[in-house]
A = this chain, B = another copy of it.
Amino acid sequence: MTKRLLLAATLLASAATAQPADREAALDAQISSADQMAWLKTLTSGPNHLGSPHNQANAALIEKLFREWGWQVKRADYQVLYPTPVSTALELVGPVAKTLGGQEPGIPEDATSNTLAGALPPYVAYQGDGDVTAPVVYVNYGLPADYEALARRGISVKGKIVIARYGGGWRGLKPKLAQEAGAIGCLIYSDPQQDGYGSADTYPNGGGRPPAGVQRGSVVDMTTYPGDPLTPGVGATKDAKRLTRETAPTVLKIPTLPISYADATEILSRLKGAPVPPDWRGGLPFHYRFGGSDDVRVHLKVASEWSLKTVSNIIATLPGSSRKDEWVVRGNHYDGWVFGASDPLSGEVALLSEAKALGALYKAGWRPKRSIVYASWDGEEPGLLGSTEWVEHNLAELRQKALIYINGDSNGRGFLGVEGSQQYQAFVGQVAAQVRDPQTGASVAERWRAGVRAKAFDGLRGNATALAAAEAGGDQPLDALGSGSDYTAFIHHAGVTSLNIGFGGEGESAGSYHSIYDSYDHFVRFDDPGLAYGATLSKVVGRMVLRLADADVPPVRFGPLASAARLYLTEIKALIETRRREDQRRAGLSPELYRLASDPRDPIAPPLAKPETPAIDLAVLDAAIGRLEAAAKGFDAAIGAKGASLTPAQTAALNAALKGIDQTLLSPAGLPFRPWFRNILYAPGRFTGYGAKTLPGVREAVEERRFGDAVREAGIAAKALNDYADRISAAAAALQ
């Protein structure tokens, strides 16, 4: 028995009766980077996409580990539509013939890149199969502003194949908007400016995307609803009522393929037509042009196998003692696109370390007050399948029992990043102050503050709220959750308080993202050597779970949430004013003015006419947020004064008052165009995809010039916020 193991055993022995601080020391002692390295090596040793043999083996291993560690484990399986590629053919037909596409090449420096049997070639899930040959138009990011720019130059994509670069918004919007604009095919490529040599030396010299690297991904129309396209709103059980593939609104209609920048160069460098605007240029060494002429043509054929497949979530529980029917839920997915070292297994191995440590405490006699539920999700990559179906299937129970959901996904070297329900901002700050950063020895909270201040001064990034917090020595403001990982169904559909957490900012996993190079070798060289940050994440989240499970009352403070809501409203007001000025300016821009302003060699029409933004009365929201601020202030002061000295009756009353509080944020009818999304405070943007929109019903109505909707949605949001404020006030009253 080594000295370290001896210490761990000693700590554990006293964990059952220990003070919380001692229990956390015992937790830390069980968390080991070496464990994580070993698990990561095994889990990444074969292709682990949904349904693959190695993914099933990984599930079995994870299940086995949980059982060994003393957890109660069950599978939660669902039958989902999940297409796998049969053909992903791409050829340049003219001006020269050239075969493009296909699997990414292995390299000697990356062991698993040479063991690709069973790996899927680059493809995007839920595109629309097809076989098309057409000229190519470059559409920049392929987002709405890009189509407006094309329209102003008289360039149509109708009957064409578009080529878009990654970035600017979620992948799935690119083929969706392309098909809406009449394109018959879509290529998406990784421009080296974004994640190739523009960001790092290319793999294997550095972590940047190599010329032949391709980003796979899902293009399911997740902004309408995530999860199985055939069973919106209900669990995809064997007997669930299903849509057909043809009637499922989230399955796209045109063939789409992701390609490398080596392949994109073959197409883009040959395009003719006018030069693109400066902000459309990427990092390839030629002058980018729109294309569209008949001489550059490609043939694209995508065919898939569309059967139902099984997603298998692994749900592990440590039952609670006094508050068994309150759940602290923690999850990370385990399926990847190929080997999935960074995404998702770097997060999953951190979760495993927590589970091992919590299991050891449990075995040593500790019993959490609340139940702890650890989920390893399957099928996140194609469309958040496992987590969404589980939430939909267990919706009523989750709304009754879930105190919080804490999500992880990729993790890497760098700074703590946390997003989510801001009533936990102070709690996150407390934990972050008590865990050491492995590189500097400072607390991760201190390191976060230092990073924000240094980056803001050096003009590298940052926002005013974060900077003010960092300078004041305060807590990291929690950004709003959009989408892109398994918290989506929890916060946006079920109204379960959620956090998403991970370290990052110094690794180079962007360059391997969703490619065969997202491997063990890449990860331990460029992303989190030694998995030091894997262990650190386990310590942070492990502490959070311990504290949440054992807290007499939820450790919430509502001031940060009220401030966030105020900020969101202020932003929307500023947006309205900006739009009004811009609309006035636009109204003065005639075709004649643009005839004079344009270069006749490259003429451009005026901006498209748009309904003028009116003054929009948001007084109801102003009032509701005012009420929220007052209620939050009252609650925070009351709980601050009381500290831990609550009577059992007060504790019970407070728990009752706060139970399911975030469900008051749900709009009964859901958001416009997408009733599945119901949270009035946050949503993934309809036209950003992963990026969050806050007060989304109002904000998107302003952005999309649905001015009537803006007023109506303001009323809905105000009602929700008033109800929320009432719940906080009730909780505060319980403290009297």
Contact = CB atoms under 8 A, between A and B. Distances in A.
A446 interface: yes
A116 interface: no
B597 A287 contact: no
Contacts of A442: 596
Contact of A596 (B199, B451, B506): B451
Given A457-B585, A585-B457, A287 B200 contact: yes
Interface string A573-592: 00000000010011011000
B453 A589 contact: yes
Contacts of A277: 460
Nearest to A152: B458
A20 interface: no
A455 interface: yes
A295 to B, nearest CB: 15
A596 B287 contact: no
Name, among A277, A440, A586, A593, the residue most crowded by chain B CB atoms within 10 Å (CB to CB): A593
A259 B286 CA distance: 19
A457 B607 contact: yes
A306 interface: no
B275 A593 contact: no
A200 B471 CA distance: 45
Interface string A175-219: 000000000000000001000011111100010100000000000
Interface stretch (A90-98, A534-542, A598-606): A598-606
A91 to B, nearest CB: 24
Contacts of A460: 277-278
Interface string A89-130: 000000000000000000000000000000000000000000
A639 interface: no
B601 A287 contact: no
B588 A471 contact: yes
A596 B278 contact: no
A439 interface: yes
B286 A596 contact: no
Interface majority SS (helix, strand, loop, mixed), chain A: loop
B597 A202 contact: no
Contacts of A275: 200-201
A281 to B, nearest CB: 6
A701 interface: no
A285 B285 contact: yes
A301 B16 CA distance: 77
Contacts of A206: 287
B287 A450 contact: no
A630 to B, nearest CB: 32
A600 B200 CA distance: 16
A454 B593 contact: yes
A365 interface: no
Nearest to A199: B287
A53 interface: no
A589 B454 contact: yes
A206 B606 CA distance: 26
Interface in A275-306: 275, 277-278, 281, 283-287
Contact of A451 (B197, B437, B440, B597): B597
Contacts of A454: 589, 593-594, 597-598, 604, 606
Nearest to A451: B597
A457 B596 contact: no
B287 A595 contact: no
Contacts of A370: none
A253 interface: no
A447 interface: yes
Contacts of A197: 285-287
Contact of A285 (B284, B439, B455): B284
A208 B287 CA distance: 9
Nearest to A450: B596
Contact of A597 (B283, B450, B471): B450
Given A200-B287, A287-B201, A287-B208, A506 B588 contact: no
Contacts of A598: 454
Interface string A429-461: 000000001011010001100110111011010
A262 to B, nearest CB: 11
A720 to B, nearest CB: 36
A281 B450 contact: no
A597 B200 contact: no
A539 to B, nearest CB: 18
B453 A593 contact: yes
Contacts of A455: 597
Given A284-B285, A287-B206, A589-B457, A596 B201 contact: no
A208 B281 CA distance: 15
Contacts of A201: 275, 286-287
Interface in A12-37: none
B599 A506 contact: yes
A595 B607 CA distance: 48
Nearest to A459: B279
Contact of A453 (B457, B458, B597): B597
Contacts of A599: 413-414, 506
28 contacts: A197-B286, A197-B287, A198-B281, A198-B287, A200-B275, A200-B287, A201-B275, A208-B287, A283-B283, A284-B285, A285-B285, A437-B596, A439-B600, A440-B595, A442-B596, A446-B596, A450-B593, A450-B595, A450-B596, A451-B596, A453-B589, A454-B589, A454-B597, A454-B606, A457-B585, A457-B586, A457-B589, A458-B607
Given A192-B285, A200-B287, 10 more contacts: A200-B275, A202-B287, A206-B287, A439-B600, A440-B595, A447-B597, A454-B593, A454-B598, A457-B582, A457-B589
